[in-house]
Amino acid sequence: MDALPPVGRFLGQEHHFVLRVYFEDTDLTGVVYHANYLRFMERARSDMLLAAGIDQRQVQEAGVGAYAISNLAIRYRAPARLGDELTVVSRLVRLRAASVDIHQRVMRHNDILTEADVEAAFVAPNGRPRRQPASWAGAFEPLIWKGKE
């Protein structure tokens, strides 16, 4: 069986992840439930790492560690609705020894619906911060956002 291609892709230094809003994502009014934006962003971040050549599962299963969200600031601007096609645009904005900062926007066409600043800390299996693998930092370096807002 052939491997499935990643859903998202990098366009320059931004990763674009497309999704559709399904009934299960909404409340009774057909509007996306607020917590589901976090799910959309998590999927986009995981796909972005995969597209950058980072195998989170292999490192986690080897007992090295994994990312944990250590800080999150989110702003809701406008609702997404049942059937909408959305794009989660992710940018790596800062790289440190044991963490990475990512800015994410959930877009409908050119409209920003939700945006968040996320800090993902690399932690050892015991939950303590540790340096992320050097190969990961190397993969991130060329992807750090250098464009203009």
Active-site residue numbers?
27
Start-to-end Cα distance in the chain: 42
How far apart are the C-alpha atoms of 66 and 130, rounded to whole Å? Answer: 10
Q: In what order do the strands lie in the sheet with 111-123?
A: 9-11, 14-20, 85-96, 99-108, 111-123, 66-76
